[in-house]
Amino acid sequence: MARRTLPILKNLTHRPTPAHFLPKPDPNTRSVTYMPRPGDGAPRPVTLIPGDGIGPLVTNAVEQVMEAMHAPVYFERYDVHGDLKRVPAEVIESIRKNKVCLKGGLKTPMGGGVSSLNVQLRKELDLYASLVNCFNLPGLPTRHENVDIVVIRENTEGEYAGLEHEVVPGVVESLKFCSERIAKYAFEYAYLNNRKKVTAVHKANIMKLADGLFLESCREVAKKYPSINYNEIIVDNCCMQLVSKPEQFDVMVTPNLYGNLVANTAAGIAGGTGVMPGGNVGADHAVFEQGASAGNVGNEKLWEQKKANPVALLLSSAMMLRHLQFPSFADRLETAVKRVISEGKYRTKDLGGVSSTQEVVDAVIANLD
């Protein structure tokens, strides 16, 4: 059974400010208002999967912030854990109905023929595009500056699809293939987000047929977007370039396996997996979660000490709010998180601090406009 929680929406009053007290216009703010359609402010249901390990901690952080903002969303919670053989049918049905899901990490057992529930969700809902945004946060020191990379990877095909079998004892065959639609999504994303360049990451010098087909698809799609620069890079050189000169990259489009490696490398460069937002999207549904590897999902020490970093999932929930067409709530949340990081008083251990999850959450709520 789903447990629904509906934040109470409060009426906010606004007192006009005398003109001579008004601040000077900020050139970085929007000058044209967002005009919603009638009824767009109705609260939206979102399927919530807290997941394993630190998942309940960080998803609870999102719930607290959403309630503090009086955001027009409410959650249908389902307890799902990575040791299950299948994602329960009622969870899939909830996501199909709500169209949107927020989830913590689901632990995947190593080997043993147990299928990853994360992969099951992506395949069941055809969430073919994974997006991870790796960027410098103001006030957070990193080795490189001016990093703002979006990694878009194919999510349902290739090595992660689990299409493998044993041909004869000791010989395992894994099927790899790529789809034109991931190239289309990458260029469409770049076009709609005013990005200037798309880089295709490949290994076509060795994987001449599979990765060659991937490049052919990218080249064909690139012709339809003359305003966007397009280039290609071999995956091993890509990794070297990422750690030496990451600012050269903008949007990167990759097959499944390469994208996982590239996204985690880019995340490490820009501040770590604890601050990188991400999501998975298809034609009809979207699932938002921590962008880069949730390798700390089973960290019992973090769970016991209640010191997991909630920033990545908070920023992912800001992405979710934009996806739901609640841009002002997304802006408020993102601004509050960036203020807390910039001030530096409340940071978890992975960011060089000693704060607990709740202390970071309280600081974000205090910084909400």
79: nearest Cα among 90, 69, 68: 90
Tokens representing 14 are: 């606004």
Domains of the chain, start order? 36-109+116-127+283-368 (3.40.718.10), 143-161+173-270 (3.40.50.2300)
Question: What is the overall mean pLDDT for the chain?
Answer: 86
Tokens representing 278 are: 């991400």
List, in sequence order, every beta strand (DSSP E) within the chain. 3-5, 44-49, 73-77, 100-103, 129-135, 148-154, 164-168, 171-174, 197-202, 229-234, 251-254, 277-281, 286-290
182, 152 contact by CB (below 8 A): yes
Cβ-proximal residues to 143 (8 Å cutoff; 6+ apart), any chain: 269
Mean pLDDT of 276-290: 96
Query: DSSP of 4-69, one letter per residue?
Result: EE-PPP-----PPPPGGGSPPPPTTS-SS---PPTTTTS-EEEEEE--STTHHHHHHHHHHHHHHH
Query: What letter represents residue 84's amino acid?
Result: L
Residue 156: band (very low, low, confident or very high) from pLDDT cuts 50, 70, 90: confident
276, 285 contact by CB (below 8 A): no
Mean pLDDT of 16-29: 45
pLDDT recorded at residue 140: 95
Q: What is the pLDDT of residues 71-119, one digit of tens each?
A: 999 999 999 998 888 999 999 999 999 999 999 988 877 655 557 888 8
Question: Measuring CA to CA, how many Å separate 61 from each of 67, 118, 205, 272, 357?
Answer: 10, 21, 45, 19, 8
Residue 196: band (very low, low, confident or very high) from pLDDT cuts 50, 70, 90: very high
Give percent of the chain above pLDDT 70. Answer: 83
Task: Decide: residue 248, CB within 10 A, 0-12 exposed, 13-18 middle, 19+ buried.
Answer: middle
Query: What letter represents residue 343's amino acid?
Result: E
